[in-house]
Amino acid sequence: MMPQESPTTSAHLSTQPEDDFISIFVELFGPEKALLLAPEFAVRDIDGGARFIDFALRAGGKKIAFEIDGPTHYQPPAFDRTKYEDDLLRQNSLIHQGWQVYRWTDHELDQRRERVKEQLALFLERMPGLLDMDDFLPKQRACAADFNLRTHQGEALDWLALIRAEGTTIALLGHATGSGKTFTAIEDARRIGEPVLYVAHTKNLIRQTERAVNAQWPEAITGIIQGGRFEPNAQLVLATVQSLSNHLNEIDPSHFRYLIIDEAHHAAADSYQQVLAYFRPVFTLGLTATPERADGKSILDIFRDTAHRLSLKEAIERGELVPIRCVRVKTNVDLSRVRFNEVQYHRQDLEQAITIPARDELIVQTYLEHVRGRKAVTFAVNVRHGEALAERYRAQGVPARAVSGQMPNKERDAVLDAFAQGELHMLCACDLLNEGWDCPDIEVLLMARPTLSKIIYMQQLGRGTRKAPGKDSLLVFDFVDNAGRYNQSWNVHRVTGNRRYRPGGFAVAPKDRIEDEERSGPQDPIILNLGLWTEHFEEIDVFDWQSTVKDMLPVAELERQLAASEGYLRNKVLQGELTPDHDLSLGRRRYFYFAKERKQAIADQFDLKPVTAANIRERFFAFCEDMDMSASYKPVLLRALLDTVDEEGKVSLNLLTLAFRDFYLRRLNCGLPAEKGKLRMARVQELTESEIQQVILGMPFKKYAQRGFLDYARDLSLVRIAPALWKRLDKKSRERLLDLANTSIAQYFDR
């Protein structure tokens, strides 16, 4: 956790340590995944106090908190027992609430990047899918029913069709053991259409169900995910939950239209939670003989709590939230010189650009001229900005107060109660309203703080979308500052993807509401009194680079798929020999993306030959025969591997490290230099086992892994020769490879 902010600082804006963390995260997972990080995520501790997580993330069913400790945590001027105990309360509260907490110092992020990167990869690599923090959005509708599926399958199918028509997307069917559950599930899946995913916890259930599918739905092509089989592209895929959870990152979350969870009473298990959280099907069906768990918690509740939430657009179109109207208010503030990274604007730059009297006056006058007297919230840049805006509102006779997480609990609660009771018309906030507070009758939001975090923007938006008696819609004023394509703030139209704008018109609403307003004009009093309505729409830019690159290949992934050396294609772009389909500039960094259909053309252009199961042995030998060496590490690693792998081509990282280290120690014992010059292994006697592992997993391992010859399971600390390669390496081949390694080592040291 960064040091407690003074009233002049703000949440959701970056500092150098945060920039460092984000750049490390991006190097591992790409800029598109970095946008899933929720900066300064608001939570409550067990005493009800407001707290902020530096970066929050969701992976599968897990909530993850990343914390950055500044110098006041590890170099305090004097020990502060009160602060120390407060830090413990904060961390204990997060753990109690189910958060996994990982912490680094700003010094580590700056001086030990590779170590932090390795740790971050270890923590997240085997977690299935990095997902949106969407807890603030409505849960899916769900229903449960019991049927004797042996004799009442038709009734069950009719019930499923009925609840779907009413907007239900999760269903739980209770049934007697041995009844016709499989028939019902398969028949309903046929109605929805493929692809279908069936998940069970044993391979016997998979086999039984495959036989039933072949008999009942013979035209459907089935695939299996279990053991050594991975066939996710079939029309109906049958998977054991354990095998599936190990392959989630290889399947698009929206790939399957229909998800069937058999023996759904196992849904509380981690593996099932990962599956439920990861996939985004049109419909989910759970089958169970025991709809209540032993602890009394409903299986249906577990499904709803774990499955993805409705998107904002889905929730509004289905009537779960009120429609959103929007007025875009253009300012003359220039954000083009504000520094930014993949997630946030630079704190000081943004504060200097935004907190100016003319812009503040525009915000207040917008409220006074169009919606005075309406219950509203203005989201400010920081605490000081919120207080300044509240003072301006009060000067104009508007009952207003600033509110923040820095206020004492008693004072904050009094302000919020006064707002809820109607004594205050306006709240000015920069943080608190993101979590832990609810006031459904808010009618107006003024989005006066630019943010690059879609999650933060939608959390703020969510404070006004709750339904309340007499509330027809939410009116949002988006203050639009001058910015470039990649540093423009989120706004209602970007969030919803709606290019059509009319002042006060619907940005998102149920289809029938939009059609009625097109025919008859607005009937909502808040719009009739607005004085801005026009008959014509304006076409606006809702460019969203994440959507643009979603189905493209990042240059690093293209290099991997084409077995090019790391940085090869990136350099071709920088040298002007290769044009990317999208050149993304975020802050100081550039990212290149390519359309998937260009892969073969690029391979032909640069004479790149992807590694396949058919050619992997030939390509591996060619690589080993012509090693480009600035150090001895690659052939020494090959030799250590061949000496230590088991019959499946696997070896623990610890054992591999010892074999790698021993090679250099033996050279020293023979009176030879361990390595040349100032290379790290020249100091082998001084290096710890962890430091030697960093050497191994650096350039030598990457050279092999980039071409698909090796992989490393960090969670198991196992290095493995690719199965497709290993099964093609007989004893004679391995002896030949050992000779090649020894020859390369001799040639290197003789140079």
Kindly list the averaged pLDDT for each block of 10 residues, start to end, along the chain of length 751.
39 70 84 83 84 85 86 62 85 91 90 83 68 77 76 84 92 70 88 93 90 91 87 94 83 93 83 88 88 62 85 89 92 87 83 89 93 94 92 96 86 91 93 65 94 86 90 93 85 90 90 87 68 64 76 88 88 95 82 93 92 90 88 95 92 94 95 92 92 87 88 74 91 95 93 82
Helix H or strand E encompassing 586 = strand 582-586
Residue with token string 């030998």:
621
What's phi and psi for 747, nearest 5 deg? Answer: -65, -40
**pLDDT of 152-174, one tens digit each?**
778 889 999 999 999 999 999 88
pLDDT of residue 8: 37
Question: Which among 90, 106, 131 is the end of a domain?
Answer: 131
CATH number at residue 338: 3.40.50.300
DSSP 3-state of 664: helix
Residues 565 and 690 grouped into a single domain: no
Structural domain total, the chain = 5
Q: Report the C-alpha gap between 362 and 327 in whole angstroms.
A: 13
What's phi and psi for 152, nearest 5 deg? Answer: -125, 40
Q: How far does CA 471 lie from the centroid of its chain?
A: 33
Q: How far does CA 658 lie from the centroid of its chain?
A: 37
Distances (CA, A) of 711 to 105, 511, 703: 30, 50, 11
Residues 282 and 196 grouped into a single domain: yes
Asked if residue 4 belongs to a domain, the reply is: no
Closest CA to 577 of 569, 565, 589, 585: 569
Contact 385, 355 (CB under 8 A): yes
Burial zone of 678 (CB within 10 Å; 0-12 exposed, 13-18 middle, 19+ buried)? exposed
Report the 10 Å Cβ neighbour count for 440.
14
pLDDT of residue 291: 60
Question: Which among 265, 288, 308 is the end of a domain?
Answer: 308
Residue with token string 């020249």:
682
Residues 457 and 582 grouped into a single domain: no
Question: Which among 110, 131, 152 is the end of a domain?
Answer: 131
Instruction: Extract the tokens encoding 321.
Output: 């939230």
DSSP 3-state of 575: coil
Residues in CB range of 238: below 8 A, 6 or more apart:
198, 200, 206, 209, 210, 213, 222, 223, 224, 225, 226
pLDDT of residue 435: 52
Asked if residue 1 belongs to a domain, the reply is: no
Instruction: Extract the tokens encoding 456.
Output: 């933060």
DSSP 3-state of 441: coil
Q: Report the C-alpha gap between 617 and 722 in whole angstroms.
A: 10
CATH number at residue 65: 3.40.960.10
Residues 455 and 351 grouped into a single domain: yes
Asked if residue 384 belongs to a domain, the reply is: yes
Residues 197 and 260 grouped into a single domain: yes
Q: Report the C-alpha gap between 551 and 672 in whole angstroms.
A: 53
Residues 646 and 713 grouped into a single domain: yes
pLDDT of residue 260: 95
Asked if residue 245 belongs to a domain, the reply is: yes
DSSP state of 233: T
Residues 358 and 484 grouped into a single domain: yes
Instruction: Extract the tokens encoding 490.
Output: 């989120």
DSSP state of 179: S
pLDDT of residue 386: 93
Q: Report the C-alpha gap between 644 and 662 in whole angstroms.
A: 12
Distances (CA, A) of 98 to 61, 64, 65, 91: 10, 9, 10, 11
Residues 324 and 401 grouped into a single domain: yes
**CA-based radius of gyration for the chain:** 29
pLDDT of residue 323: 95
Residues 95 and 186 grouped into a single domain: no
Domain that holds residue 525: 317-544
DSSP state of 632: S
What's phi and psi for 399, nearest 5 deg? Answer: -65, 110
Residues 482 and 375 grouped into a single domain: yes
Alpha helix stretches (DSSP H) within 450-594:
454-462, 492-496, 511-520, 525-528, 545-549, 555-561, 568-574
Asked if residue 3 belongs to a domain, the reply is: no
Asked if residue 29 belongs to a domain, the reply is: yes
Q: Report the C-alpha gap between 255 and 279 in whole angstroms.
A: 8
Residues 340 and 442 grouped into a single domain: yes
Distances (CA, A) of 539 to 60, 497, 519, 521, 676: 38, 12, 20, 19, 64
Asked if residue 137 belongs to a domain, the reply is: no
DSSP 3-state of 186: helix
Residues 151 and 252 grouped into a single domain: yes
Based on DSSP, count helices (H) and strands (E) in the chain, helices before strands: 32, 30
Q: Report the C-alpha gap between 333 and 386 in whole angstroms.
A: 18
Residue with token string 């109605």:
191
Residues in CB range of 242: below 8 A, 6 or more apart:
201, 271
Asked if residue 24 belongs to a domain, the reply is: yes
